[in-house]
Structure 1
Amino acid sequence: MEIEDVRNYDDLCKKVRDCYEEYDPDYETYLWIGSNGHGINGAPYHIRDILADHDLIDSKLSGLLFALRFA
């Protein structure tokens, strides 16, 4: 994900919020699972590990949004 064309602090906060709200760990995990039910393209072998990675991204986006709002 990328955040481009940030004009000011409020714009940055809005774009980070949009990224957070649009991020779906389950869908992102699905993208990295092959037809054999395991990770592809360098993703971890086990689905739970792929999901854990995407849950962590979701959590980090939430933390960033919180930090920006209350900075």
Structure 2
Amino acid sequence: MSVGEMLAATVPMVRTLDLAFGEITPERAVAHLPDQAAYHNHVGGPHAGAMFTLAESASGAIVLAAFGEQLTRA
């Protein structure tokens, strides 16, 4: 299972926002937030909460890629 698939399976907000992941390495994560009207703000752009969740999910993907093998030690 890829890191992106694992995040989608375990993090409800990843599924709620339908986030998609591309490249994930210990140094970089590419994540996509589909343009969905339900998650727009009052001026028609992506809501800050959705963008924060995208960034937080990408940072989580990097942490998992970098340290995933060590998680059983914590």
TM-score, structure 1 as length reference:
0.43
User: Which is richer in helix?
Assistant: 1
User: Which is richer in strand?
Assistant: 2
TM-score, structure 2 as length reference:
0.42
From the CA coordinates, give the structure whose radius of gyration is larger: 1
